Structures are given as structure tokens and as C-alpha cells.
Amino acid sequence: MAHKFNPSDHPHRRYNPLKGDWVLVCPHRAKRPWKGQLEPAIEQTTPRFDINNPLCPTAHRPNGIVNPDYSGTFVFDNDFPALLDDVPVPDKEDNDELFQTSPAEGNCKVMCFHPHSDLTLALMSRVEVRAVIDKWAELQEELGKMYTWVQIFENRGAVMGCSNPHPHCQIWSSSYLPNEAEVKDKKLKEYYLKHDKNMLLDYAERELKKQVRVIAQNEEWVCVVPFWAVWPYETMLIPLRHTLRFNDLTNKQRDDLVDIMKTLLIKYDNLFETSFPYSMGWHGAPNNSEDNSHWQLHALYYPPLLRSATIRKFMVGYEMLANQQRDLTAEQAAQRLKDLPNIHYSCKKN
């Protein structure tokens, strides 16, 4: 072979120990010209209040309910829930393994972060973000007593399928472990039984030593672009002490989470000077009576933007049929995010 391997130039695969699969990394493809789809530029024209927006205070929702004149967070049952409580058990298809069904009961909630539609977590105050974190913990505590899995997630931006710009997230609770959680539970347990250590705590410790994919850190948290990241600027938040679920976070952990969340989200917005779209969510231990020492709470951010505010990554073709793939390396993405200022670009323009 004529050349020595260079991870910044040569195609290679990277293993994701959380899922037991691989991502194909093709850094040389980043040099190719782009002639694909361009997303429309995101304009900051969202009104602070719109009586026709069903998430605003005092607005009418589609089911006729009028929202309270809330001043902080606001939680309500989703008007169009994907999961329902007390549903009939599906009939068995003669015990045919090719036609299996299983009960799916649950609850779906919507949580507004703030009464103002023109704000995001990146632009909210520390006190306001802390209120969001405390409400997440409260909901995890409450719903975890009734459901096996509580999935807190936020879809931000129209490009991620978010139909309403008002700052909000969803909480889907289910009687079963969803696919992602089931696979992760298995891989975390395998690592724990093999090494007698927690995989994500081990991983965080090694990333802190290497410092090549770390974007931000403080006493309680580290934010990294995972070694196995699939999305261009994918990130993970990991607490530095063993923490099973969101409601287990201490006051200090919550305060430091405010800081590192705002740091990350401001950097995201500063990257292309736009309100950065993403899907994010929290994964923690299932709500059951088993020993879940192998689990470690963490957040995942999956943003689609690739080269600018108008060029996004698509999961199509080879990625759907064969193998997930990325061009930009995790190290390159981390360095770009790390080098960005911690002051929001909109503040510098004012």
C-alpha cells in the first residue's frame, strides 16, 4: 500500500458499542461539489404571540380546550396521541412467528418550554432553562411510576418535521421498551458483565483524556461528538457521575446541565448563523425492578445540517439499504463546534 492510513482522508468504518453496528466514514467525499437539494433559508420571523397558534397561552387547541395564561412551562396530554392507555390486546396469528403482534399502551404529552413563541432553549435565560430541566425530572418521576419507558424528545425546526415553532417538546411513555432502548439495554449490559464497569462512564473518561471530540465540559458533564456519530454534527451529553435516570440528577448536576446545554445550543446556532434544527432526546434506565447499574443517563442530539443553513444530510440509498455513512469526521465536526464563540450570533448583531 502506497500511503499510510489517515482517518481524515481515507474511508473506514467505526463501531458503535451502544448499538452494535457500524458507520462508514468517507472524509474524502467532503471535497465533492454539491448540486443537491437546498433547504429554504430559515428566517427569524416567528411572532412572540399568535392567538391562532395552539401552543400559545390562552389560545384554543384543536379539541376546543383553551390553554391557560401560563408564564413558565406548560404540560398537557397530546390532542393527537400515538399511544393510548387501556387498549385491547391484539389477537394472535395462530402463534405464527412471521406475524407477531404485541400490546402497546402508553401516554403522550406535550410540554411548552416558555410562553413566547420566538424563543428557543439557546436564547432562554438560565433560570428558564433550569425550569425546563426541573419539569423534565418531575415528569420522569411521575410517569416512571406507571410506564416502563419515558421518552423525552424535542424536534426542532421544520426540516426535522416540527410543525410548530413554539418552543416545546414531547414526552411519550410506553408499557414496553422501544427498539432503540432495547438494543441499548442489551449492549450496555453486555459491556457491564464483561468489564464490571459502566460503558458510558468509561467512554466519557477516555474522551476527556483524548480531548479530540470534546466540545464542552464542566464539573458534572461532558459534551462530545461521539466517535461513531452518524449525523454531521451529532453530539452526546453525558453526566460524569453515575446517574440512572433524569429525576436522579442533583441540584448541582442540573445547574451544570443548564450551562452545557446552553453552550452547545448557542454553538449550534452560531455554526451557520441560523436557528439550528435537530432532534434530541434523553435515554436513561428503564423503569423496572431490575438492577440497572449498567445504564447511564445521556442526551443525544441529531442535527441534519451539513455544509450550510440550506444544505442538509439525507439518509437515503446506500444508508437505507446497506450502511449508515458520513463524510465529515467526528473529530472535524467537534473542532468546528468547539472553536465557535459561546455568545449567540444574534446578540452580536444587536
Of 265, 288, 287, give the one whose Cα is nearest residue 276: 265
Calpha distance 188→199 (Å, rounded): 6
Calpha distance 117→176 (Å, rounded): 34
| The three cell numbers locating residue 337 | 463546534
Q: Tell me, yes or no, if 28 is annotated catalytic.
A: no
Calpha distance 285→18 (Å, rounded): 14
Phi–psi pair at 269, nearest 5 degrees? -60, -35
Of 269, 265, 260, give the one whose Cα is nearest residue 345: 269
Active-site residue, from 114, 116, 166, 168? 168
Owner of C-alpha cell 453486555 = 190
Across the strands, what pairs with 172?
108, 151
| The three cell numbers locating residue 106 | 402508553
Calpha distance 272→342 (Å, rounded): 14
> If residue 13 lies in a helix (H) or strand (E), which one and from where to where?
strand 12-16
Phi–psi pair at 49, nearest 5 degrees? -140, 135
For residue 30, is it left (φ>0), alpha (ψ between -120 and 50) or beta? alpha
Across the strands, what pairs with 152?
171
For residue 92, is it left (φ>0), alpha (ψ between -120 and 50) or beta? beta
Calpha distance 301→311 (Å, rounded): 18
List, as one string, the DSSP characters of 18-57.
TTTEEEEE-GGGGGS---S--PPPPP----S--TTSTTST
Report, as residue numbers or ranges, the catalytic residues.
168
